[in-house]
Amino acid sequence: MFQKMPELLNGVFVTFHVSVLAMLIGVVIAILLAITKMNNSKPFCYVATVWVEIARNTPALFQIYMAYFGLGALGIHLSPYVAVLSALVFINAGYLTETFRGGFSSIPDTQFRASRSLGMSSVQAYRYIILPQMLRRIYHPMTNQFVWSILMSSLGILVGMSELSGTTQKLQSQSFRTLEFFIVAAVLYFVLTKLVLFGASLLSRRLFKGDIG
């Protein structure tokens, strides 16, 4: 059991790694989608809406199957890692688009005009007035989405990815100690999410200097 710890910790690392990547790429796409949705330029806005609605209204497992088996049928063969990553990116982008849009529209337009009339350029207004406030409001939902990514990357077990769950599955099938290995995996997930939440709250204290709006 404990001899297998390095392998399990390696699984933890892969889980963390795939979630971080899924989050980073997801955020970038979500910003683009949110901008398209708010600009209302017809064909692109339509694509963004379809993306967001599909991501929000179908199960994560379905997305992973789609990336792994569905694209495979089209001749695009992804490795389990890439399949899980792209499914998570797809979903993260969909959810975060709405978060960003909500965060942006929660800052009243008058603030922008007020900062402009104080002599700021529009870049300055965004940089110093709009974005800091927005970041404060979307910080918490973003942390939640990150934790969700970590938990959902466990579905990699079903397509043979060697993240924490997949590694656990492999180890238990070699040793038949199903219960022990999955209990350890559960503890590792718990610790990982708690560490992430702790890190996020430390970071928020530094970023927002105490007052979280």
Partner 1 sequence: MNSLFTPLSWSDTGYILTGVWNTVTISVVAIVIGTLLGILVGFLRAESNRFVNVLLGGILDVFRSVPLIIQLILFSTFVGAIGHPLGPFVAGSIVLSIYTMAFMTEVFRGGFEGVSQSLQTAARSLGMTYWQTVYHIRFPIGLRAVLPSWLGVALSVIKDSALVSVIGYMELLRTSEQLISRTQQPLMILIGVGLFYFIISYPLSYYGRRLERKMAL
| Burial class, 179, CB count within 10 angstroms (exposed 0-12 / middle 13-18 / buried 19+) | exposed
Q: Is the dihedral of CA 88, 89, 92, 98 positive or negative?
A: negative
Binding characters for partner 1, 140-169, by CB under 8 A (x = yes) = -------x---xx-xx-xx------x--x-
DSSP 119: T
- Point out which span in 6-14, 18-26, 29-37, 62-70 binds partner 1 (CB under 8 A): 62-70
Q: Measured from the CB of residue 124, what is the shortest distance to partner 1 in angstroms?
A: 31
Q: Measured from the CB of residue 36, what is the shortest distance to partner 1 in angstroms?
A: 19
* Under rule CB under 8 A, residue 190 binds partner 1: yes
Q: Measured from the CB of residue 147, what is the shortest distance to partner 1 in angstroms?
A: 8
In the bound state with partner 1, the residue whose beta carbon lies nearer, of 191 and 203, is: 191
- Contacts of residue 169, defined as CB under 8 A and 6 or more positions apart, other chains included, come to 157
Which of 1, 9, 24, 61 lies at the binding interface for partner 1 (CB under 8 A)?
A: 61
Chain-centroid distance, C-alpha 4:
29
Q: Measured from the CB of residue 65, what is the shortest distance to partner 1 in angstroms?
A: 6
Q: Show contacts with partner 1 in window 93-122 (CB under 8 A).
A: none
CA dist., res. 133 & res. 144, Å (int)? 19
Can you point out the beta strands (E) in the chain?
none
- Contacts of residue 80, defined as CB under 8 A and 6 or more positions apart, other chains included, come to 68, 156, 159, 160, 161, 162, 166
Residues that bind partner 1 (CB under 8 A): 53-54, 56-62, 65-66, 69-70, 72-74, 147, 151-152, 154-155, 157-158, 165, 168, 178-179, 182-183, 185-186, 189-190, 193-194
